[in-house]
Amino acid sequence: MPLWNIFHPEGTFTDSQSKSAFSKDITKIYTDKLGLPAFFVVVQFIKMEKGDVWVGGKVNEGDKPFIRLVIEHTAVNVPAEAEEEAYRTTCQWVDNAIKPHVTDKGYDSEYHISENDRRLWKINGLIPLPWKSEEEKQWVKANKALPWSGDH
């Protein structure tokens, strides 16, 4: 489960087309780079009303919209022993996904990525399959969680 919570002010991401395009670019990170099933990727657009976002102790009423992305990774984590390059690569994938939807529009933005313990995650009551397993490939093909023998 990658979960992206996109906190945005009124006037940004106002239509299904902009949300769809952004969500598809986000999903591609996980399907194309990591081979995860598309249904693992959840993107939530959370509209913030005027006066609800404060930066540096002041209400954010600047000329530029401020977009805050809170990203959680559970399905796959960067290994603890990974070299700095793995972290830079992960951030580059995120940067590339947000570029046409946030950066290129001149919005101010900030994001962070939290990594969760996979053992505390279920989908429709099922323990997710081991990453890159043959069974997971069936989930990718079906684009949904299917019962499996190791679920207990």
Instruction: Please report the pLDDT score of residue 31 as a whole number.
Output: 96
Percentage helix, strand, coil for the chain under 3-state DSSP, each rounded to 5:
35, 25, 40
CA distance 25 to 16: 14
The residue whose two tokens read 């991401």 is: 13
Instruction: Please report the pLDDT score of residue 150 as a whole number.
Output: 72
Q: Which CATH number fits domain 2-121: 3.30.830.10, 3.30.429.10, 3.40.50.720, 3.40.50.300?
A: 3.30.429.10
- For residue 72, the Cα-to-chain-centroid distance in whole angstroms is 6
What's the pLDDT band for 61 if we cut at 50, 70, 90?
A: confident
Segment 31-48, tens digit of pLDDT = 999 999 999 999 999 999
Residues 6+ apart with CB under 8 A from 31: 37, 38, 41, 140
- DSSP code string of 42-92: EEEEEEEPTT--EETTEE--SSS-EEEEEEEE-SS---TT--HHHHHHHHH
Q: What percent of the chain shows pLDDT beyond 90?
A: 72
Q: Is the pLDDT of residue 151 over 80?
A: no
What's the pLDDT band for 140 if we cut at 50, 70, 90?
A: very high
Other C-beta atoms lying within 10 Å of the C-beta of residue 73:
18
- What pTM, to 2 d.p., does this model score? 0.92
